[in-house]
Amino acid sequence: MSESNSAFGQALVKSLIGERGHIPIARALPDITPELAGQRTGGIPYSIYQLMKHMSYWQDFMLTFLEGGKPQAPGSVMDSWPEEEAPGDEAEWQDTVRHLLQGVEKAVDFARTVQLDEPLPGFPGETKGGILRNIASHNSYHLGEIVLLRRLHGAWPPPGGGYPA
């Protein structure tokens, strides 16, 4: 791996896990209860659960490209949002959190090992590094919404603190 590829890979890892820019994603999610995950607030069009499922949908979609596959694009972006507002039970919620965080770990592994400027045959004009940057920015965007929803529900900060507090 070239020195510039390695530096960019390290920056991607930090972006994927949330280091420095915001609370690490793994610290912002595990204490959320299924009840909190399914709550809706005012005019906000989705719950934390729906955000998490949406994040996982697109993370899985983009990881498929990195794994050499070509995922089927949804008919509409709305297909990436679940209709269900809440998980069915604790086990489903824990699986949702675990699945998202395992995908982040997989993306981190790619950021540390692949040639980031390598083009993706199944995604013309895109590189492996570009896909990882997309995962990081999409997750970061929606994690900010999750933090805001937690604040609106009086469920912030998580144990161990959060920033901003």
Query: How many domains is the chain partitioned into structurally?
Result: 1
**Within a domain: residue 134?**
yes
Find the domain containing 133 and state its range.
3-152
Q: What is the mean pLDDT of the segment spanning 43-49?
A: 96
Binned at pLDDT 50, 70 and 90, residue 4 comes out as low
| Domain membership flag for residue 164 | no
Whether 162 is in a domain gets the answer: no
Residue 12 C-beta-side C-alpha neighbours within 13 Å: 28
Which of 2-16, 19-33, 103-117, 145-159 is least confident? Answer: 2-16
Residue whose token pair is 């004009």: 125
Task: Let me know if residue 92 belongs to a domain.
Answer: yes
**Is residue 165 assigned to a domain?**
no
Average pLDDT over residues 57-64: 98
Confidence of residue 164 (pLDDT cuts 50, 70, 90): low
pLDDT on residue 161: 82
CATH code, domain carrying 67 = 1.20.120.450
Residue 83 lies in a domain: yes
Cβ contacts of 39 within 8 Å, gap of 6 or more: 47, 48, 86, 149, 153
Please state the pTM of the whole predicted model. 0.94
Q: Which alpha helices (H) appear in the chain, and where do they start and end? A: 3-17, 25-28, 34-38, 48-66, 90-113, 128-152
